[in-house]
Structure 1
């Protein structure tokens, strides 16, 4: 562990074959889930350290990055000969809570189908919220940042570089976010298949029963009874922004959707 004396300001040693951010300028993160993660990071981190972290990520100073349940580890080359060791921990989702999540996902055919096809449903964050299980870190207290550099900043530029590259990794493979939260892809998909097999039979599956016209012309339930007094499904104020493809317009270098999101969230419920 390096002694913590003064932060380094010298130019970093170039890395051959390092992980380089795809984004060359502006914001990092293309999908809604990576942008949500970056929004949390930029809400509490020092702006100057974030700027240097983005520069490190774009120069390819991160040597490697590994995502495991509850921890991301990486090596980042600074100005000193030995690379710095970085680790980013996150609060664990317990095994019982994951079973509840898997059962809920398996019970919703649209979610299950998309996940089994390798896609991340846009509404999955709402499902986690309904279960009172946060999918994303909500503040600095939900992230445990560790680096053996001499900078006391939290995050330092080395950790910031890793976090930005982690967001881009989420762009390529959203299942990494769930793995970081404790459920690797194959284990999650196995749980969904198992939950689907244990689910109640499909009411529209008539099996081998012969089809008859018995009762076909019988009057059904009144329309009022069918409609009932079902409660309205809560709709997030920025649903429209999340469903639309982001336009190629930026406001002060920020995507238009990101600039409009606070206004939508401030709108009262209809």
Structure 2
């Protein structure tokens, strides 16, 4: 007889305890795909698992997410979710297309995902968000996806809220790689951005017993620095133009 999952102390718990999960357009886009193709009953139970903190760990790498979920049995279930990670040749085309759009570059440098970027991917004949997910869980549930997979998918969507670059990292491009390449394509120097491992971001993003209150947003890039990165001047003019950029961005 089913007695419910074994209670977990210190698991990864969704911040959203009621209503929908996901607040930004990119996380909602991911959730909409799931809710359109997956069994609603198991998705509902997956949300309950995510909110109870039944997910023990999540590791994201190019093309793959691995997680452990505590169910009703003693040993946690192993979850794997795979999508296509794009090759270097394809990313070179993507980055060149993004670099042509100054507004896209500016938003990405500020830590935002421009809504138009999905259309840019589509125009190149590729998907930003996966249409199909290759998913496996070690549980005996015949449903697809099972509640354990669903819980991990919902937590992924919530993590996309504060770090849209995880969507791109899953496709094979880290934040540091993308922004560095965009600076190169635009004719500037590679942008130095700290590439924090997903596991470390997740540790900061979630906390045991987390509430629906959202953590403080990371500060966006200072305006003068952003101008220099989006419109890099040639040669050694950056040092000379910095005071002018600062004056333009002042009150």
- Would the TM-score normalized by the shorter structure come out above 0.5? yes
TM-superposed CA distance for 1:198, in Å, is: 7.0
1:48 corresponds to 2:38: no
TM-superposed CA distance for 1:143, in Å, is: 0.4
* Counterpart-to-counterpart distance in 1, 2:49 and 2:28: 19
Secondary structure in 2 aligned to 1:65? strand
Query: 1:74 touches 1:162 (CA, 8 Å); kept in 2?
Result: yes
Gap runs ≥5 in structure 2: 190-230, 238-251
Gap runs ≥5 in structure 1: 1-7, 209-270
Query: 1:91 touches 1:143 (CA, 8 Å); kept in 2?
Result: no
* Counterpart-to-counterpart distance in 2, 1:116 and 1:47: 37
1:173 to 154, 163, 178: 163
Aligned-CA RMSD value = 2.1
1:23 corresponds to 2:16: yes
TM-superposed CA distance for 1:92, in Å, is: 2.7
* Counterpart-to-counterpart distance in 2, 1:37 and 1:143: 11
Secondary structure in 2 aligned to 1:81? coil
Q: How does 1:78-157 map to 2 (within 5 A)?
A: 78-138=71-131, 142-157=132-147
TM-score using structure 2 length:
0.73
* Counterpart-to-counterpart distance in 1, 2:129 and 2:123: 14
Q: How does 1:235-254 map to 2 (within 5 A)?
A: none
2:177 to 187, 190, 206: 187
Secondary structure in 1 aligned to 2:45? helix
Larger Rg: 1
Aligned match of 1:35: 28
Query: 1:73 touches 1:88 (CA, 8 Å); kept in 2?
Result: yes
* Counterpart-to-counterpart distance in 2, 1:78 and 1:163: 16
* Counterpart-to-counterpart distance in 2, 1:33 and 1:125: 9
TM-superposed CA distance for 1:91, in Å, is: 2.0
Query: 2:63 touches 2:172 (CA, 8 Å); kept in 1?
Result: yes
TM-superposed CA distance for 1:21, in Å, is: 0.8
TM-superposed CA distance for 1:23, in Å, is: 1.2
Query: 2:166 touches 2:174 (CA, 8 Å); kept in 1?
Result: yes
Query: 1:10 touches 1:79 (CA, 8 Å); kept in 2?
Result: yes
* Counterpart-to-counterpart distance in 2, 1:54 and 1:193: 40
